[in-house]
Structure 1
Amino acid sequence: MSRGFEIGIGLQSDKRPGDYARLARIAEEHGIDVVSVFGDLMYQPPIFPLLEMAAATSRVRLGTACLNPYSMAPYEIAGQVAALDLASGGRAYLGLARGTWLGEVGLAQPRPLTALAECAEVVYRLLGGDTSGFSGEVFTLAPGTALRYPVQRPRPPLLIGAWGARGAALAGRLADEIKVGGSANPAMVPVIRERLRPGAEQAGRSAEDVGIVLGAVTVVAADGAAARAKARREVAMYLAVVADLDPTANVPADLLARVKTETAAGRHDEAAGLIPDDLLDLFAFSGTPDQVAAQAQRLIDAGVHRVEFGTPHGLTDDQGVSLIGAEVVPMLRPATR
């Protein structure tokens, strides 16, 4: 078992007021370490559920996985992470990624690595009270520019969301953690570790200093077959995206093409039925608590810093989060039984 690993859950921001607080309390009471909120296009802004959860908890770390510098300016990102860190008493993390599907709202994403690096620079200059100014290729701060409100910490931890070699190298240079979203594949852990290495060495540190986070759709239930059926349907909707990002998965091109065709036609059950068990296990956590714990343990053994169990968690959110906390967590941390 890895030293100092964490267990997290990731929530979609599609719920009603009060739901987030309830789920976060369940998570905290059962020893879960981190609660993240996805920053997906056209869902509720993550700051709303995060502030609700900050008020309802006292221990879990909280953050967005992830914000992007195209739909939100760096000074606004600084303000949101500062607000969350203040509301939570110093439990916030900052999650940044290039963003997905922004073309649907007319946003181009030029020079993503430069934009991410400069966004982080601007955010931390603002949080740290550095008024010397910054002149980058994408973002600037005029000398004397400063936040006009209290800040809890000058540098909440940074998570960068990335799969590719260049994004991982950037995380190796700048971040505390890298998140590989949509993967439950232990074989990706050494791949990401090597992709981190050039950036880490450039920054004068070890690649092992950057925590690797793997997170994916999770469906856990006493009825393992029902859980896996629901997970298979969820995975069918994003398999075409993540399968091409995983160099170890070797997904047959004809299978991907068939899943894409069925999904595009709205035949989601047919698309789900094409996904075999071994492929499902690379891109989702699903089944009984024993099955999900075994999947997570393989990631921990491979060296992840954090396993993040993503939405929908179970046949319902509450049942899933409760089962993860009450049954999966004790199997990963036997001393908590």
Structure 2
Amino acid sequence: MRVEFGLGVQSDKRPGDYARLARVAESHGFDVLTVFGDLMFQPPIFPLLEMAGATTRVRLGAACLNPYSMAPYEIAGQVAALDLASNGRAYLGLARGTWLGAVGIDQPRPVAALAEAAEVVYHLLGGRTDGFDGKVFHLAAGTALRYPVQRPDPPLLIGAWGPRGAALAGRIAAEIKVGGSANPAMVVVVRDRLRAGAEPVGRSADDVRIVLGAVTVVDRDGAAARAKARTEVAMYLAVVAELDPTAGVPADLVNRVAELVDRGEHEAAGRLVPDDVLDLFAFSGTPEQVAAQAQKLIDAGVGRVEFGTPHGLTDDGGVELLGSAVLPLLRREAP
């Protein structure tokens, strides 16, 4: 399986920014452009459609949409629209979603909801009209999309850290994304968890591409890049530290960082994050440092490395440096 390189973009920009970044990324040889589906940011379909119009080669998708705040028929419509706009370059990203309690949305039965959402989406994209009667979602017989679709089966990516989500990906997905991790030790963990779902249905866990993506800050001034990355990591350390069974981040450190974040003292919180913890949850430093981190993931067996926002001390500068200085180092080594 060829190693891919992706760029993860936050949907907080102005019209035109996405097209510009997408053109730069494609010109430097990135394989995939992802837009995050984070709560209270712009819906990812807006930047993705702009990116589709500005590119001709890269694959595009949201990582991820969730079936609690968006019904599966709407998810089917959005991936169909992106696939049409990109001439068949879309992927479907699904995850349970995070922080939805802030908008009053419960998330019961997440594995069943994800599995059935995927089934409903492909049911609709495939033009089936026989209905669907699941434990979570339903389609009445005769329900069908009333517009043309580019493909009935754009590839599925499941976003998950845990054993049950990974097992689901092993059963039904082309890819699994572990968001917020740059830790090579997680690759082995995820592969084992994929196997638990893949083997009972006659699939190989090796056929599911593992994607690891995290905050990225690259700059010729490595110290400044790492300082900014510490601040970014501090804001989600309390979430990801407990999801990674290999990390061993001390609980008192997590608590102290979380207390400062809650008080809005993000830079002070970031200063508490030591180098070894920073490198588990972010790519940061000079181009050579970032490339070395990514190479460790490749050596561990990851199928795609995704460099996430904010990319650099500025977004444009970071994307340019990733493309012109980091990717060439990795392309020399990647299988």
In the alignment, which residue of structure 1 is the partner of 2:235?
237
Q: 2:178 aligns to what?
A: 180
Q: What residue is the counterpart of 2:260 in the other structure?
A: 262
TM-score, with length taken from structure 1: 0.98
Cα distance in 1, alignment partners of residues 21 and 122 from structure 2: 30
Corresponding position of 1:110: 108
- Separation (CA, whole Å) in 1 of partners of 2:140 and 2:262: 47
Amino acid at match of 1:230: K
Q: Partner of 1:118: helix, strand, or coil?
A: helix
SS at 1:310's partner residue?
A: strand
Residue identity matched to 1:159: L
Q: CA deviation at 1:335?
A: 8.6
Structure 1, unaligned stretches of length 5 or more? none
Cα distance in 1 for residues equivalent to 2:118 and 2:201: 15
Match in the other structure for 2:18: 20
RMSD of aligned residue pairs (Cα, Å)? 1.0
Of residues 197-206 and 232-241 in structure 1, the stretch that sits farther from structure 2 once superposed is: 197-206
Shift of 1:202: 2.1
1:145 aligns with: 143
Instruction: Give me the whole-angstrom Cα distance separating, in 2, the residues matched to 1:203 and 1:287.
Output: 42
Of 86, 89, 114, the match for 2:87? 89
The residue aligned with 2:56 is: 58
- Name 1:42's counterpart in structure 2: 40
- CA deviations on 1:99-141 (whole Å, 9 max, x unpaired) are 0011111111111110000000000000001111110001011
Could you tell me which residue of structure 2 aligns to residue 224 of structure 1? Answer: 222
CA distance in 1, matches of 2:111, 2:333: 42
**Which residue is 1:121 aligned to?**
119
Instruction: Please name the residue that 1:251 is paired with.
Output: 249
Q: Does 1:134 align with 2:132?
A: yes
Q: Give the alignment partner of residue 208 of structure 2, picking from 203, 207, 210.
A: 210
Q: Which of 136, 157, 161 lines up with 2:159 in the alignment?
A: 161
Q: In structure 1, what is the Cα distance between the partners aligned to 2:2 and 2:39?
A: 33
Runs of 4+ in 1 over 3 A off after TM superposition: none
Q: Which amino acid aligns with 1:130?
A: R
Deviations 1:237-258 (A, max 9, x none): 0001000000100001111111
Identical positions, percent: 78
SS for the counterpart of 1:160 is: strand
Partner of 1:9: 7
Name the structure 2 match of 1:280: 278
Task: Specify every segment of 5 or more residues in structure 2 that has no aligned partner in the other structure, as ranges.
Answer: none
Shift of 1:270: 1.6
Q: Partners in 2 of 1:252 and 1:110 — Cα distance?
A: 30
